[in-house]
Chains A and B, each alone.
Chain A
Amino acid sequence: MTERGFQLFPDQASSFAPRVDALYTFLVIVSAFFTLLIFLAIVFLAVRYRRSAVRDRKRRVGAKFWVLEAVWIVIPLALTMIMFLWGAALHFDQRIMPRDAIELNVVGKQWMWKIQHPQGRSEINELHVPLGRPILLRMISEDVIHSFYLPAFRVKMDVLPDRYHALWFEATQPGVYHLFCAEYCGTEHADMRGFVYVMQPSEYATWLAGGEQQPPVTAGEALFTRFRCDTCHYQGGQPRCPSLANLFGQPVRLSDGQIVSAEEQYIRESILNPAAKVVAGYQPIMPIYEGQLSEEQVFHLIEYIKSLSVMPPETGQPAPVEEPAQGFPADEENRDG
């Protein structure tokens, strides 16, 4: 199934693929036209005005000169503007993340991709996705810059250390396609590749059930206890620490007056290097967790913190808080972690 014969054109397996290919076709036509135009003009003129030919060689270009120059300035300019607008509009769709996507966590490291699904199953250098659902990959690197690349889907995004980048697509053709690392990342860069499997939703569900791992939320909850986060951040307890309930997605006022939105990037930074952005009204007493948590563990903690927000179904956005939400599930069994 992974064998593929000689091809001249890549598979079209995502909702982006036909749209990118249409733009590409336009570009190919424009290029072919101009390349041929120039090529034929050169051949024609070089033959017609070859030195041995007897021709009228008195150039009389008066007003025509300006017309010509204007023509070959304006037409290319207009064509490039079409390319720009078309490409930019399509790119907006590529970079504006859908609300209802399945969110997967991706960690790149020299030289493998580690991917975890919300239900807990994780995989290496393989990516299983259901057909016809938007998929959002939240990606981070443990070391150098990598780039997550799915040619059949026409999507690619660099994966940087210490920073989340997101990528989304919606698969439209079942099958097996290539997954590459596109950014040079060291010795085995060529080997940092794998496959993406596009499955029917039902197959995907079965496949998900095949894994034994804990879902990220549960894992995060356990970490929350193990790393003693709960000693400070528990509901109605420590007045010196902010509540994490309904934090996700909300604006947070910082001690320097700035207002930031509590997205994944902010929460990650708040855990690993809390001093960088201190919440207004609190002292910077939270310990620094950098160097103690793996990127996967940070992902888990974030999932857990997200789960503390009440999500109205479908929107995927936390609801505005009216009253303090229920406290943390302070299971006694987790307490001694």
Chain B
Amino acid sequence: MSAPVAASAGHVAHHFDDAEQQYASAELGMWLFLATEVLFFGGVFCAYAVYRYWYPEAFAEGSHHLDLPLGTVNTAILLLSSLTMALAVRAAQTSEQRAIVRNLGFTVLLGLGFLGIKSYEYYHKFEERLVPGPNFVTRHPELAQQPGGESRYPPPAEVKEEPRYKLSSTAELFFSLYFVMTGLHALHMVIGIGILGVLIVAAVRGAFSAAYFTPVEMTGLYWHFVDIVWVFLFPLLYLIH
């Protein structure tokens, strides 16, 4: 199923010799960009690895405060969106105009669904005071009614009889990382959805075909990358034993 791309002069910028050179440049450029993204997320992954190595228990506790069903649903949504994205690229390669728009549309909807669920989760964390910072539960002894509330500063001579450390103070690190990682991931999703929106408009106008589908293909690479990030985030954040 291989066929040389028809050089369509209209899409070749002045400084390139031909469409082939142009496409090769775009593809290489995109992969380099993704390599930078790997290292961008890599920095937080590194921090995550160090702290999880140091505080395995606190990370397990923190993880249990996340909503596993919602996380699983979100994983499914993203995997599905990767499929529709791949199909959109394929549709462009085979010049199926309707299918391009349809699959891009699905991808956007799934992306929005993911963000919706994510914001619900965020809201919940906010209510439970699990957002790191001065309001974090473990910094407030007076929130004793909170399950898992524990103070870093109890009154000196107080001697309580019960085990009280449902959530240790280092769990805050877990939530810092949780918010940074999922936040950056969500930001990438938002950007991706924006680009997809632009693509849909262009696709409706019939911009893409077997002769020229570079933007769809590149956006696809980006979208799959964002999906891969989540594939790692999901077990690292939600599935700690």
Chain A residues near B (Cβ < 8 Å): 227-228, 231-232, 256, 273, 275-276, 283-285, 287-292
From the candidates A232, A283, A284, A287, name the one contacting B156 in the complex (CB within 8 A): A287
By Cβ-Cβ distance, the 8 closest A-B pairs, closest first, are: A275-B165, A228-B157, A291-B153, A275-B168, A283-B163, A284-B165, A287-B154, A284-B163
Q: Which residues of B contact A273 (CB under 8 A)?
A: 152, 168-169
- From A291, which residue of chain B is reached at the shortest CB distance? B153
Q: Which residues of A contact B170 (CB under 8 A)?
A: 276
Consensus secondary structure, chain B interface: loop
- 9 A-B pairs (CB sep. < 8 Å): A227-B157, A228-B159, A232-B159, A256-B56, A275-B150, A275-B168, A275-B169, A285-B162, A285-B163
Q: Which residues of A contact B150 (CB under 8 A)?
A: 275
**B160 CB-CB contact with A under 8 Å:** yes
Q: Is the CB of A290 within 8 A of B152?
A: yes
Q: How far is the CA of A228 from the CA of B170 in the complex (A)?
A: 25
Q: Which residues of B contact A231 (CB under 8 A)?
A: 159
Q: Which residues of A contact B163 (CB under 8 A)?
A: 283-285
**B64 CB-CB contact with A under 8 Å:** no
Chain B residues near A (Cβ < 8 Å): 55-57, 150-154, 156-165, 168-170
Q: Is the CB of A227 within 8 A of B156?
A: yes
| Known contacts A231-B159, A288-B154, A291-B153; 6 further A-B pairs (Cβ under 8 A) | A275-B169, A284-B163, A285-B161, A285-B164, A287-B157, A288-B152
What's the minimum C-beta distance from A331 to chain B, rounded to whole angstroms? 19
Q: Is the CB of A290 within 8 A of B164?
A: no
Q: How far is the CA of A332 from the CA of B150 in the complex (A)?
A: 34
Q: How far is the CA of A193 from the CA of B169 in the complex (A)?
A: 35
What's the minimum C-beta distance from B160 to chain A, rounded to whole angstroms? 6
What's the minimum C-beta distance from A69 to chain B, rounded to whole angstroms? 32
Q: Is the CB of B156 within 8 A of A292?
A: yes
Q: Which residues of A contact B160 (CB under 8 A)?
A: 285, 287
Q: How far is the CA of A288 from the CA of B151 in the complex (A)?
A: 8
Q: Which residues of B contact A232 (CB under 8 A)?
A: 159
Q: Is the CB of B152 within 8 A of A287?
A: no
From the candidates B57, B162, B168, name the one contacting A256 in the complex (CB within 8 A): B57
Q: Is the CB of A287 within 8 A of B165?
A: no
Q: Is the CB of B168 within 8 A of A276?
A: yes
Q: How far is the CA of A291 from the CA of B168 in the complex (A)?
A: 16
Q: How far is the CA of A74 from the CA of B57 in the complex (A)?
A: 50
Q: Which residues of A contact B158 (CB under 8 A)?
A: 287
Q: How far is the CA of A12 from the CA of B63 in the complex (A)?
A: 55
Q: Which residues of A contact B152 (CB under 8 A)?
A: 273, 288, 290-291
Q: Which residues of B contact A292 (CB under 8 A)?
A: 153, 156
Q: How far is the CA of A273 from the CA of B173 in the complex (A)?
A: 15
What's the minimum C-beta distance from B235 to chain A, rounded to whole angstroms? 21
Q: How far is the CA of A225 from the CA of B180 in the complex (A)?
A: 44
- From A258, which residue of chain B is reached at the shortest CB distance? B56
- From A283, which residue of chain B is reached at the shortest CB distance? B163
Q: Which residues of B contact A284 (CB under 8 A)?
A: 163-165
Q: Which residues of A contact B56 (CB under 8 A)?
A: 256
Q: Which residues of A contact B154 (CB under 8 A)?
A: 287-288
Q: Which residues of B contact A228 (CB under 8 A)?
A: 156-157, 159
Q: Is the CB of B156 within 8 A of A288?
A: no
- From A277, which residue of chain B is reached at the shortest CB distance? B57
Q: Which residues of B contact A275 (CB under 8 A)?
A: 150, 165, 168-169
Q: Which residues of A contact B159 (CB under 8 A)?
A: 228, 231-232, 285, 287
Q: How far is the CA of A292 from the CA of B151 in the complex (A)?
A: 13
Q: Which residues of A contact B156 (CB under 8 A)?
A: 227-228, 287, 289, 292
Q: Which residues of A contact B153 (CB under 8 A)?
A: 288, 290-292
Q: How far is the CA of A276 from the CA of B152 in the complex (A)?
A: 12
Q: Which residues of A contact B165 (CB under 8 A)?
A: 275, 284
Q: How far is the CA of A291 from the CA of B169 in the complex (A)?
A: 13
What's the minimum C-beta distance from A36 to chain B, rounded to whole angstroms? 42
Q: How far is the CA of A172 from the CA of B161 in the complex (A)?
A: 55
What's the minimum C-beta distance from A287 to chain B, rounded to whole angstroms? 5
What's the minimum C-beta distance from A155 to chain B, rounded to whole angstroms? 28
Q: How far is the CA of A142 from the CA of B170 in the complex (A)?
A: 19
Q: Which residues of B contact A290 (CB under 8 A)?
A: 152-153
What's the minimum C-beta distance from A8 to chain B, rounded to whole angstroms? 44
Most chain A CB within 10 A, of B160, B168, B170, is at B168
- From A254, which residue of chain B is reached at the shortest CB distance? B57
Q: How far is the CA of A290 from the CA of B139 in the complex (A)?
A: 12
Q: Which residues of B contact A291 (CB under 8 A)?
A: 152-153
